[in-house]
Amino acid sequence: MFTGIITDIGTIAELEQAGDLRARITTGYDTDGIDIGASIASDGVCLTVIALGPDWYDVQISAETVSKTNLDRWTVGHRVNLERALRVGDELGGHIVSGHIDGVAEVLSVVDEGDSTRVQLRAPEDLAKFIAPKGSVALNGTSLTVNEVQGAIFGINFIPHTKEVTTWGDAAVGDRVNLEIDTLARYVARLGEVMRG
Residues of the chain with CATH 2.40.30.20: 8-84, 103-196
Of 96, 16, 88, 28, the C-alpha closest to 59 is 16
Can you tell me the mean pLDDT for 161-169? Answer: 96
pLDDT tens digits, one per residue of 58-92: 999 999 999 999 999 999 999 999 999 977 666 66
If one looks up domain 103-196 in CATH, what number appears? 2.40.30.20
Whether pTM > 0.85 for this model: the answer is: yes
Q: Determine the residue type at 63.
A: A
C-alpha 140/C-alpha 166 separation (Å) is: 9
Q: Average pLDDT of the chain? A: 92
Q: Specify the pLDDT at position 184.
A: 72
pLDDT tens digits, one per residue of 16-66: 998 899 999 999 999 999 999 999 999 999 999 999 999 999 999 999 999
CATH class label, 8-84:
mainly beta
Decide if pLDDT at 119 tops 90. yes
Lowest pLDDT segment from 14-18, 93-97, 166-170: 93-97
